[in-house]
Amino acid sequence: MKPVYSLYFSLLLFLSGCGGANVPTTVQVASTATTSTSAEPPIYTYEIVNTYPHDPTSFTQGLVFENGVFYESAGLNAAHNGHSSLRKVEVTTGKVLKKIDVPEPHFAEGLALFGGKLFQLTWQDHKGFIYDPDTFAKQGEFPYSGEGWGLTHDGKSLILSDGTHQLRFLDPETFKEQRRISVYDKQNRLEELNELEYVKGEIFANIWQTDRIVRIDPKDGKILGWIDLRDLLKDEDQRVDTDVLNGIAYDAAQDRLYITGKKWPKLFEIRLKKK
């Protein structure tokens, strides 16, 4: 995804909580049932549960939670005054526990952990890298057409965004396209779908250069809801190079979702609330 430096479009989201009858969930599942074809998707806001440090030099492109740590794909390359990397990060302190650089001129993008392997996209090079999540040893590469933006999985397929209104489902072994869905906001294409996370049967996608996350039905691309993250990162926490919201990670075991942004100094755990 193209780099844009903005003071106002960086945001972080985290959703947590388990679903018992008397236990509030932090990720409320949007109902796919509608009583009217004109029903508007629900809008959610947020409540901050926890705030954690985040490396303000990391141009976050992808974020994954697994076994108590984050895996993070950081973008940029020499042409954009930076360098791409793959990181393992401690949640509560933001400490980088392990890091490897992605070789130039690659601009790293989305990240997914699936089947015991880390899959990392590149922006315009039509290929991704496969790593061992423990050692970060490179295990291979995989091809795809078009640009690479965000990446997640649904337990069966890798799901890739390319900056358009479409999401592609790829076979995780052959990387052949299985199918794709198109996302429309009313009659208009919802372009620039970016960082992705699969949460409780939905695809969460942030819209590049905005403070919104859209909740998508993976079956047909229907919009199930919106998450409004305005003012999550306060003005006093922003620097001249603070950039847009990007980075959604979900802890399925504890029903928690984390969000950060490019070069954000903070990462947030939040609880969703109906607007």
* Domains of the chain with CATH codes: 44-274 (2.120.10.30)
Task: Give tens-digit pLDDT for 95-146.
Answer: 999 999 999 999 999 999 999 999 999 999 999 999 999 999 999 999 999 9
Would the pLDDT of 24 be above 60? no
Would the pLDDT of 9 be above 50? no
Task: Give tens-digit pLDDT for 183-230.
Answer: 999 999 999 999 999 999 999 999 999 999 999 999 999 999 999 999
Mean pLDDT, residues 234-257: 93
**Lowest-confidence region among 6-15, 153-162, 237-246, 258-267:** 6-15
Q: Which of 42, 18, 22 is nearest to 30 (CA)?
A: 42
> Amino acid letter at 154?
D
Mean pLDDT, residues 250-256: 96
Would the pLDDT of 62 be above 90? yes
Q: Which of 248, 199, 269, 244 is nearest to 9 (CA)?
A: 244
What's this model's pTM, rounded to 2 decimal places? 0.89
Task: Return the percentage of the chain with pLDDT > 90, whole number.
Answer: 84
Would the pLDDT of 256 be above 80? yes
* pLDDT of amino acid 20: 35
